[in-house]
Structure 1
Amino acid sequence: MSLDLQTFIIGVFMLAIAGALLLLSWLHHRSNKSLAQWAFAFFLGAVGIALIGARGRIPDAWSILAANALLTSAYGVMWQGVRTFEGHRSHPALIGAGAVIWLTACAVPAFYAVGTARALLIMAISMAYSLAAAAELWRGRGEPLPARWPLIVILIVHAATLPLRVPLVSALNGGPQTHPLVVGSVIFETLLFCICGVYLLGSLSKERLALRHEQTSLLDPLTGVANRRAFLGQGAKIIDRAEISGQPTALLLFDLDRFKSVNDQYGHATGDDLLRAFCRVATTKIRRTDLFARLGGEEFACLLPNASQSVAMAIAEEIRNDFAAMKFDAGSTRLAGTVSVGMSATDRLNSDLPSLLIAADRALYRAKQEGRNRVVAAAFSPPVLRGRRRGSLRSDNPDTYPSSSDSQQVG
C-alpha cells in the first residue's frame, strides 16, 4: 500500500469519526441544527475522500466527478452550518455552487484532461468555502463565545494548507511520488482539523447554550425587559463608570397606579397586558444607553447614565404622559392606566445604587401621596467634592437621607 493511499485512508477515518461525534452531540441538542449540518459535512467529506483514494480501482466517473462533487458539497454544507449557527438564512444555491462549478468545468474536455487543473479548481472552491465560514464567524464576534476565535484560526489554517493536497492528487494521476514531508504535513493538518474542529464546534454550541441561559436568567419573562437581578448587577457597574468619568447619573422609579384593583376587577390577564403596554411605552422613550428593568410586581426602574436632573425629568414626563394617553380593552370596558414616578440623581448623599433607590422610593411615595399620576424629584444635595472617595461624605445613618418632605414635585 502506498504512503499516499495511507494518507487517504487516515483522512477518511478521521472525517468519519468527526462526523459521528458531531452527530452524537446533535442527538443531545436537537434544537441546534448546525451540529447536524456539520456532521453531514464531515460524512460527505469522508465519502468523497474515500472515492478519490480509490482512483484506478473504480470508474473515473465516481473517483473524479462524483468524489469531488461530494467534496465541494461538504465544504458548502460546512459553510451553511456556520451560517445556521449565526442565525442567517439558508442559501441552497450557494451550498451547491461549488459542485455545479466543478461539474461544469469537467464538461470541458481540455480541462478534464489535466489532473493538476482539476486539483487546483477543487482547492480553490474548498478554500473559498473555508474562508467564507471563517468570515461568518468573524461577523458574529460581538457575541462573547471564546471558542469562536480558535475555530476561525483553524478554518484559516485549513484553507492555507489545502494546496498541499494537490501533489497527492497528482501522484494518483500518475505523477511523481509526493515528498514524505508533504504527506506528513497533510496527515497532521487533517488530524488537527478533525480533532480541534469537532472539539471547538461542540464547545461553541455549549457556550451559546450557557450564554442564552444566563441571558434568560436576567430577563423578566412577562415583559421581556431586564429583571431585578440584572438591574442591580449592571446598575452598580454603570454608576461606577459614571463616577470615574465624572458624569451624573439619574434614577427613575415607576409604580403603576391602582394596579391591584385592575387585577382584582378585570383579571390578571388584563393586568399583564397593562404591564407589557407600559414597557412598550417606556422603552421607546429612553436612550440606548439607559437601563430599564422590572423590579417586581408593578414597579419598574430606569437608570440614566450621563443624564442631568432636567433630562431625567423630561424623559419621565414623556413616559407618564404617553402611558396616560393609552387606552386598554378589558372586555367591554376601555381602561386608562397611569403611573407615578420618583426621581433621584447622584449627589453628595446619593452616590451609589442603594442610596439612589432609597431616595427615588421616597420621592415615589410622595408622588402617590399627592394624588398619583405625577413625577416627583428627590431633593438635590451639593455634588461630592473632586478627589473625595465615593461615599466618604455620606453618613451611614438612614435619617440623613432626604425625606419625602424634602422632595419637589414637577408638573
Structure 2
Amino acid sequence: MLLSIPTLLLVAIFIFSLMGLLTLHAWSRGAREQTLGYLASTLLLAAFGVTLVSLRGIAPDTIALVLGNVVLLLGATMNWTAMRVFGGRAPHLPGILAAPLLWALWGLTPGYYDNLGLRVTVYSLLTAIYGGLSAFELWRNRKRLEVSYLPALVLLVMHSGFYTVRIVADHGISLEHALAGTGRGTRFFSFLLFESMLYAIGIAYVTLAMVRERAELKFKAAAYSDPLTGIGNRRAFLSGGKQLLAECSRRGEPVALLLCDLDHFKRLNDAYGHQTGDQALIAFGQVASQRIRQQDVFGRIGGEEFACLLANTDEHAALLVAQRICSSFHELPLLAPGLLSVSIGIANSTGDEHDLARLLSRADHALYAAKDQGRNRVQVYRAVVTAPETTSPATTTPPAPAA
C-alpha cells in the first residue's frame, strides 16, 4: 500500500527543514565549520524547492516548474560544495551556478513546458552528476581526511546511482496525477520522495559525525603538540615512547634514547631576550627532526630539554645521530656561528630491557656528565664504569661567547 503523495510531500518538506535547521544550529554553535554551513543550505534549499514544486496549479508554472527546480539544483551543487570544502578545497562558484543557470535559461525557451520526460531526464542527469562529484571529492581527499568517510561516500554513491537509474526508469508523472495517486509513475515518485528523505537524514548525520571526528583529532593533536616548536610535547613523547618500546621489545630490537639539553639557555635568554631563546628552541627542534627517522619518537619534554627515542638502533648508530645533531646545532648562524650548543646523554636498552623510565634516568646521568665535562658534547651512559665514555662532535670544549 502506497502512502499518500501529499502526505509524503509534507513529510519531506518537514524533514528537509528540520535537518537543515539542526545542521545550521550545529554550524552556529561550533567553530563555524563551513562544511556544515553549506550542508545546511543544501537541506533548506531542498525544503524550499519541494515547496515551490508542490505549488503546481496554484502558483504560475514559472515558479513551480522553473524556479522550484532551479532551487533544488542549487541545493545539489551546495551538497557538492560541502564535500569539496570538507576535503580542503575552496568553493567553485562556476560549478555552483552551472546547473541552476542552465535550468533557468532552458526554462525561458518555448519548448520547456512541452516535454515532461525530457525535464525528468535532464534533472536526474544533473543531480546524478553532482552526486558523483560529491563522492569524488571525498575519494580524492581520502588520505588527508583522517576520518571515517566511507559511510558518507557510500551514501553519496547510492544517491547518485538512484538518479542514474531514474534517467532510464522514470519518464515522469505530472504533479496532478501524482497527487491523485493515479498514473504509471506514481510508485516511482513515492519512492523518490522516500529516498530523498532518507538521504537528507543520512547525509546530515554522517557529515556531522565526520566534522566532529575531525575536530576531536585537532584537539587531540593540540594536546599532544608543543605550541612553540610544533613537535610532540612531554605527553606525546611518553605515550609514543611506550608504544615504540613495546613494539621493539616484541621484535627483540635495540632502542636508544637521546636526552638533549641546550647549553647556557638561561644566559641566552638574559643576554638576547626570550624571543631569541624561542628561536633557538625552534631551530633545535628542526635540526633534530631532520636527523631522525619517521618511526622514531621526538619531543620537547621540558623547557630547553628534548628527547629522541630511536627504534632498532644500537649504541654506535645512536652516537652518530647524536653527533650530527650536536654539530649541526653548534654551527647554526642564528646568532653567531658557534654560539649555540647542546649537550646530549645517550642510554641504550640492554638485553630484553625496554623500560622508558629507566632509559630516561640513565640518559639523564649521562647528560649531567656531559655538562660537567664542558658541555657541547655527547655522553654515553656506562653502567660498569665510573666515568662514562666521552665523545665530542666538533670540539671538546664549548665555544667562546661572541665578543
Task: Report the TM-score, using the length of structure 1 for normalisation.
Answer: 0.83
1:405 corresponds to: 387
Task: Report the TM-score, using the length of structure 2 for normalisation.
Answer: 0.85
Given candidates 357, 361, 376, the residue that maps to 1:358 is 361
Contact 2:256 2:347 in 1 (8 A): yes
Shift in alpha-carbon separation, 1:16–1:349, aligned structure 2, 3 A: closer
CA displacement, residues 169-189 of structure 1 (integer Å, 9 cap, x when unaligned)? 423386962566535433432
Contact 1:285 1:319 in 2 (8 A): yes
Contact 1:228 1:294 in 2 (8 A): yes
CA distance in structure 1 between the aligned counterparts of 2:385 and 2:123, rounded to whole angstroms: 77
Shift in alpha-carbon separation, 1:82–1:180, aligned structure 2, 3 A: same
Contact 1:363 1:404 in 2 (8 A): no
Q: Which moved more, 1:278-287 or 1:95-104?
A: 95-104
CA distance in structure 2 between the aligned counterparts of 1:285 and 1:51, rounded to whole angstroms: 64
Counterpart of 2:183 in 1: which secondary structure? coil
User: Is 1:344 paired with 2:347?
Assistant: yes
CA displacement, residues 180-200 of structure 1 (integer Å, 9 cap, x when unaligned)? 653543343233222232222
In structure 2, the gaps of 5 or more residues are: 394-403
CA distance in structure 2 between the aligned counterparts of 1:246 and 1:217, rounded to whole angstroms: 31
User: Is 1:172 paired with 2:178?
Assistant: no
2:119 corresponds to: 118
Contact 1:4 1:178 in 2 (8 A): no
Deviation at 1:260, TM superposition (A): 1.6
Contact 2:381 2:388 in 1 (8 A): yes
AA at the equivalent of 1:195: I
In structure 1, the gaps of 5 or more residues are: 380-400
* 4+ aligned runs moved over 4 Å, structure 1: 103-112, 141-144, 163-169, 173-176, 178-181, 401-404
Deviation at 1:5, TM superposition (A): 4.0
Percent identity, aligned pairs only, is 31
CA distance in structure 2 between the aligned counterparts of 1:403 and 1:168, rounded to whole angstroms: 90
1:151 corresponds to: 152
1:398 corresponds to: none
Q: Which moved more, 1:310-319 or 1:166-175?
A: 166-175
Instruction: Show the 5 A alignment for 1:131-210.
Output: 131-138=132-139, 139-140=141-142, 143-146=145-148, 148-162=149-163, 163=165, 167=170, 169-172=172-175, 177-178=183-184, 181-210=187-216
Contact 2:83 2:137 in 1 (8 A): yes
Given candidates 288, 307, 313, the residue that maps to 1:282 is 288
2:265 corresponds to: 259
2:72 corresponds to: 71
Deviation at 1:221, TM superposition (A): 1.3
Counterpart of 2:174 in 1: which secondary structure? helix
Deviation at 1:335, TM superposition (A): 7.8
AA at the equivalent of 2:135: A
1:309 corresponds to: 315
Contact 1:328 1:335 in 2 (8 A): no
RMSD: 2.9
Contact 1:105 1:112 in 2 (8 A): no
Deviation at 1:256, TM superposition (A): 0.3
Counterpart of 2:344 in 1: which secondary structure? strand
User: Is 1:268 paired with 2:274?
Assistant: yes
